[in-house]
Structure 1
Amino acid sequence: MHQKGTVAVKIITDTLLGLFAVWFTVCLFLFNLDSPAAPASHVDAVIVLGGSSAERLPVAQRLAADAGAPVLAVSWTDTPGNLTADALCREASFPSSSLVCFRPPGMDTRGEAEAIRKLVKSNGWSSIAVVTSSYHVPRARTLIEQCTDARVSMVASEPKLDSLQWLRRFVIETGGLLDVKLHPECGT
């Protein structure tokens, strides 16, 4: 009986380790190695999502200049991770035809998707490029595409995370991606 219990524990342990390895490999490709590049054609606006703005905002500004996008739209959250973007919005003169700062309801990606839906509709944009961290691209793309018919190009900025921070992001983004698939945004 004791030997059967040991064999069962080994089978369960090996199965769990195998499942973890498969999940980790999928996460590595989905949230880290599969970073979309800049859009191939003109876009009506470049939008930078909130959080990690010191990493994301320079990518968005460079993209807007390179792509000749007439508008840079910035998520303005007044949160610690968004200091650079928030400072840009605080210091800007409004109204501005080239800079739009928006406050997402709920201060999360779902709120940003809803705010982007409203911006696209009110400005008649047919194509947008959205800048966010590489780990955030799959979930953000899913939410934004649920909210708008505009052509959405995702552009990844590259975070500087250590191994434990990546593992944490993998867990958070896996849960978040499952949530947006099970509970779509914007009534779709």
Structure 2
Amino acid sequence: MQRLTVLAVSAFGAAAVGIAGLGVVGHFAYTKSRVDPMRPVDAVIVLGGEHDGREEYGIELARQGVSANVVLSHPYWRGDRKMAEFCAIQDQRFTVTCVPPQPSTTRGEALFTRDLAAQHGWNSVMVISWRYHLPRARYIFSRCFDGDIVMRPVPRDYDFRVAHWEYIYLYQTVGFVKAFFQGRC
């Protein structure tokens, strides 16, 4: 019985150290990830996720002259009224294109970016997503798109609990492993 107790305490301790380690590494790798400087690009690519201001941000960048092309990933259901509004925007300064990614993942978004770039002669793109998603998105896009990639986060505050951050760090890390084994597009 005493040996079982020692094993349980050891396992608990190892798990606590692992979780703490993931939190520290995740904080620097994901929460404080590298953000590229703002500059003009051929297209602004807004990755799917929450309607958290990302679409508005991509469109605002086009209004500021960062690009004449905005591509919104549209993995949402057909009746998503917010996406319908964004996809219907008509402005003489820029074009909004909405694309459902196949598959409905960051890789699918990188694939449609590669295809649109080849079709339109784009050499540079700006990718918009959550800051903690940028490292993995950069890795995936660099394996699919040969042009210049600028990574920018959705401007928002992240007010999550510790357990939520741990989940995010674990999710992003598993996503990196998956992307590594998927190879180039």
TM range (shorter): 0.7 to 0.9
Deviation sequence 1:12-65 (CA, Å, 0-9, x none): 4333322221111111222212251443x3211111011223321122223333
After the TM superposition, which of the residue ranges 134-143 and 29-38 deviates more from structure 2? 29-38
After the TM superposition, which of the residue ranges 145-154 and 4-13 deviates more from structure 2? 4-13
Deviation sequence 1:115-146 (CA, Å, 0-9, x none): 11101111111111010111211221111111
C-alpha displacement of 1:69: 1.0
Q: Percent identity?
A: 25
Partners of 2:47 and 2:127 within 8 A in 1: yes
Q: Give the aligned residue type for 2:82.
A: T
Equivalent-residue separation in structure 2 for 1:146 and 1:53 (angstroms): 27
**5+ residue gaps in structure 1?**
none
Equivalent-residue separation in structure 1 for 2:153 and 2:77 (angstroms): 21
Partners of 2:114 and 2:144 within 8 A in 1: yes
RMSD: 2.7
Q: TM-score, normalising length from structure 1? A: 0.81
- 2:169 corresponds to which residue? 170
- 1:156 corresponds to which residue? 153
Equivalent-residue separation in structure 1 for 2:179 and 2:27 (angstroms): 20
After the TM superposition, which of the residue ranges 105-114 and 64-73 deviates more from structure 2? 64-73
- 1:55 corresponds to which residue? 53
Q: Give the aligned residue type for 1:14.
A: G
**5+ residue gaps in structure 2?**
none
Higher helix share: 1
Moved over 6 A (4+): none
| 1:126 aligns to 2:123 (yes or no) | yes
C-alpha displacement of 1:84: 3.3
